[in-house]
Copies of this chain bind each other. A is one copy, B any other.
Amino acid sequence: MPSPPALAFSTDNCTIGRAMAVLGERWTFVVVREVANGIRRFDDMRRHTGMPRQVLTDRLALLVEHDILRRVAYREEGQRERHEYRLTDKGFGLFPVIIAVAEWGDRHYADDDGPPVEFAHRDCGAQVEVTVHCTEGHAITQPRDVVTRPGPGIRPFDA
């Protein structure tokens, strides 16, 4: 059997790998979900998710460091200044990822009573979905209709 073509190329600069080095940890993605859902404050997130305090602190710091969340100061009457977290533009850019993960999760990991949450179009109320197509406008429904090819940053792989 011939060697798989992809084996000739390095994974060192794989942008999927780099993206998942930030996101690819359950709690990191959970924090993004909380903030995207309007749950922006440390104590709310901690209570709602059951995350250990230190883990939540670490993940929030990581997400701020990567410019996915930003800290915004607020002060409630008679209290000291605190911070809440908002998505940055880069964080909002994760929406297709969140929806694609939710679709796959709904299909395979929902309880018998169905998914807990739906995404809907604000204007018309119809369900939101993610589709794959090419820039020529062809819909792509079969993964086999997608091929990978070397991009500008491709590098040879030396074992």
Contacts and interface: CB of A to CB of B under 8 A. Distances in A.
A66 to B, nearest CB: 8
A94 interface: yes
A1 B44 CA distance: 13
A154 interface: yes
A21 to B, nearest CB: 5
18 contacts: A15-B102, A15-B115, A17-B26, A17-B30, A19-B105, A19-B109, A20-B105, A24-B25, A25-B26, A48-B159, A92-B143, A96-B130, A100-B130, A118-B150, A121-B136, A122-B146, A126-B135, A128-B135
Q: How many copies does the complex hold?
A: 2
B17 A151 contact: no
B111 A104 contact: no
Interface in A24-45: 24-26, 28-30, 33-34, 36-40, 44
Given A24-B23, A130-B131, A132-B95, A153 B10 contact: no
Main secondary structure of the interface of A (DSSP, over half): mixed
Given A5-B38, A17-B30, A90-B108, 6 more contacts: A16-B30, A16-B98, A16-B105, A96-B132, A111-B153, A114-B153
A26 B111 CA distance: 26
Contacts of A138: 121, 123-124, 126
Contacts of A92: 143
A146 B134 contact: no
